[in-house]
């Protein structure tokens, strides 16, 4: 457990002293008397994601405990830590900083720190790899593994002066606040998009959307995908086999599969398949370009789609996907048409039974949708959703950067 290291890789300016290794047992003390008088205190549980949470808010996971006799519960004072010995290895640990006492099941271990250990510092140490290593080393049991309080007491923790601990705790707290902010922004933008997909496209056979840009009043026209999109797939005899699959280093050409489509966006963060240049050139009609729309027609994710943007290499598709090409400057409009409830209902209606859901290209071409007659209205709608998607992507990217930064700092700011 890094016994020979006395200083972390990253420190705040002004701190140079070596850290001291201590047993947690000398820095913690158990708290929480049994609720023998059955006081009407609010009952809490500890969840993996949210830490301490009222049982009546935990709904399905803890709803069955609502009417349990609480006289055996433990009273938890403010500024206490708690965890489930049978679930700490999956993150069931929390910190309670409320203003009044609450109670938790007697299954939990509840403790506080002494003056030599800052609460925030300990909290982030508990979230680092250091605790995980100790759990793996000291947990006991067979079918179910446990990490009781006496095992926690045996863990070694390296600590600095309380002043440095406070700075470290505050730094991670600020990081968490930024992560929460970007996550909230991201979630709100996704909800806005979901709402506008319902309002900016006609619903329930209506020909007029609920929300429109100023200056547009005409009813929309019903059309078929086959009349407004050129749809191509990998023809059976041009499918590829194992001998056609090569590595990228060997000159292979990227072949998109359903795993490349996540949340209706194209991603390369997956296991990619590459085929020979000869097999790629064999089917010029499915050579992929920016502005194409990919649509999954076979498999468990049937109906997923994504607009191709930012593609900087040659690419094709596998037999589970078709490529849809539409009129220039309508690509974003059409890519959003494909994720509206109207189209999703049609996808569900034509799924062929069996182990592998399948849709024919003919069925896809017969899908109907409503569209404005004026190209300018299509463009405005497309631009609106493009901007929304760009904002969502920015927040998601910032989220990943912050999460990776936190992960790195948890490794390099503790020893």
Q: What is the pLDDT of residues 234-248, one digit of tens each?
A: 987 678 888 999 999
Mean pLDDT of 388-403: 95
Contact, 298 vs 358, CB < 8 A? yes
The band of 88, judged by pLDDT with boundaries at 50, 70 and 90, is confident
Q: Which residue has the higher pLDDT, 239 or 326?
A: 326
Nearest to 378 by CA among 331, 345, 413: 331
Q: Which residue has the higher pLDDT, 383 or 3?
A: 383
Contact, 329 vs 379, CB < 8 A? yes
Q: State the Cα–Cα distance between residues 301 and 320, nearest whole angstrom.
A: 10
Q: What is the mean pLDDT of the chain?
A: 91
pLDDT > 90? residue 350: no
Contact, 297 vs 261, CB < 8 A? no
Q: Which residue has the higher pLDDT, 58 or 199?
A: 199
What ranges in 200-261 are assigned the alpha helix state H? 225-228
Phi (first) and psi of residue 134, to 5 degrees: -70, -40
The band of 108, judged by pLDDT with boundaries at 50, 70 and 90, is very high
Lowest mean pLDDT, pick from 194-208, 340-354, 400-414: 340-354
The alpha carbon of residue 13 and the mean position of all alpha carbons in its chain are separated, in whole angstroms, by 35
pLDDT > 50? residue 272: yes
Question: Tens of pLDDT along 207-266?
Answer: 999 999 999 999 999 999 999 999 999 987 678 888 999 999 999 999 999 999 999 999
Lowest mean pLDDT, pick from 36-40, 169-173, 290-294, 322-326: 36-40
The band of 141, judged by pLDDT with boundaries at 50, 70 and 90, is confident
Edge-to-edge strand list for the sheet holding 245-246: 245-246, 273-275, 253-256, 315-317
Q: State the Cα–Cα distance between residues 35 and 102, nearest whole angstrom.
A: 10
Q: What is the pLDDT of residue 72?
A: 84
All structural domains of the chain: 20-159 (3.90.220.20), 168-214+373-415 (1.10.287), 221-371 (3.90.220.20)
Q: What is the pLDDT of residue 356?
A: 83
Q: State the Cα–Cα distance between residues 276 and 243, nearest whole angstrom.
A: 9
H helix or E strand, kind and range, residue 323: strand 321-325
- What count of Cα atoms within 13 Å lies in the side-chain half-sphere of residue 296? 26
Q: State the Cα–Cα distance between residues 21 and 4, nearest whole angstrom.
A: 10
Choose the most confident range, by mean pLDDT, from 4-8, 79-83, 88-92.
Answer: 79-83
Q: Which residue has the higher pLDDT, 47 or 137?
A: 137
Q: State the Cα–Cα distance between residues 90 and 342, nearest whole angstrom.
A: 40
Nearest to 112 by CA among 145, 75, 165: 75
H helix or E strand, kind and range, residue 389: helix 375-412
The one-character DSSP state at 20 is E
Q: What is the pLDDT of residue 109?
A: 94
Q: Which residue has the higher pLDDT, 40 or 301?
A: 301
Q: What is the pLDDT of residue 229?
A: 93
H helix or E strand, kind and range, residue 379: helix 375-412
Burial class (CB in 10 A: 0-12, 13-18, 19+), 296: buried
Q: State the Cα–Cα distance between residues 170 and 166, nearest whole angstrom.
A: 6
pLDDT > 80? residue 323: yes
Q: State the Cα–Cα distance between residues 245 and 253, nearest whole angstrom.
A: 9
pLDDT > 50? residue 341: yes
Contact, 414 vs 368, CB < 8 A? no
pLDDT > 50? residue 367: yes
Edge-to-edge strand list for the sheet holding 230-233: 230-233, 321-325, 293-296, 305-307
CA torsion 331-337-338-339 (nearest 10°) is 120
Q: What is the pLDDT of residue 60?
A: 46
Q: What is the pLDDT of residue 189?
A: 97
Q: Which residue has the higher pLDDT, 144 or 186?
A: 186
Q: What is the pLDDT of residue 66?
A: 60
Q: What is the pLDDT of residue 237?
A: 66
Question: Tens of pLDDT along 295-321?
Answer: 999 998 999 999 999 999 999 999 999
């Amino acid at each position: 457990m890094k016994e020979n290291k006395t200083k972390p890789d990253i420190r705040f300016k002004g701190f140079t002293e070596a850290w001291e290794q201590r047993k947690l047992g000398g820095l913690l003390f158990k708290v929480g008397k049994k609720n023998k008088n059955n006081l009407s205190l609010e009952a809490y549980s500890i969840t993996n994601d949210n830490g301490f949470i009222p049982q009546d808010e935990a709904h399905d996971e803890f709803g069955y405990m609502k009417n349990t006799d609480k006289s055996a519960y433990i009273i938890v004072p403010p500024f206490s830590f708690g965890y489930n010995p049978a679930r700490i290895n999956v993150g069931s640990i929390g910190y309670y900083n409320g203003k009044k006492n609450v109670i938790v099941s007697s299954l939990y271990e509840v403790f506080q720190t002494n003056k030599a250990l800052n609460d925030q510092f300990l909290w982030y140490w508990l979230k680092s790899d250091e605790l995980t290593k100790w759990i793996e080393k000291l947990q006991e049991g067979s079918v179910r593994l446990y990490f009781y309080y006496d095992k926690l007491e045996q863990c070694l923790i390296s600590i600095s002066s309380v002043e440095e601990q406070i700075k470290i705790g505050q730094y991670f707290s600020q990081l968490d606040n930024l992560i929460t902010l970007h996550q909230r922004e991201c979630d709100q933008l996704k909800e806005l998009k979901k709402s506008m997909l319902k309002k900016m496209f006609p619903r329930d056979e209506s020909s007029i959307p609920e929300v429109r840009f100023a200056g547009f009043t005409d009813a929309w026209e019903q059309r078929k995908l086959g009349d407004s999109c050129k749809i191509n797939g990998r023809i059976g005899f041009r499918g590829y086999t194992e001998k056609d699959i090569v590595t990228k280093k060997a000159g292979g050409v990227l072949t998109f599969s359903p795993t490349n489509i996540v949340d209706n966006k194209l991603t390369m963060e997956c296991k990619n398949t590459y085929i020979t240049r000869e097999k790629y050139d064999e089917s010029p009609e499915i050579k992929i370009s920016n502005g194409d729309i990919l649509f999954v027609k076979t498999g468990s994710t049937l109906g997923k789609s994504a607009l191709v943007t930012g593609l900087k290499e040659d690419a094709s598709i596998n037999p589970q996907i078709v490529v849809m090409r539409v009129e220039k400057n309508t690509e974003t409009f059409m890519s959003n048409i494909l994720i509206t409830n109207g189209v999703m209902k049609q996808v569900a209606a034509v799924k062929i039974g069996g182990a592998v859901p399948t849709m024919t290209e003919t069925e896809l071409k017969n899908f109907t949708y409503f569209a404005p007659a004026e190209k300018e209205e299509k463009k405005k709608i497309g631009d609106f959703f493009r901007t929304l998607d760009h904002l969502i992507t920015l927040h998601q990217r910032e989220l990943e950067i912050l999460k990776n930064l936190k992960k790195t700092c948890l490794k390099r700011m503790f020893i």
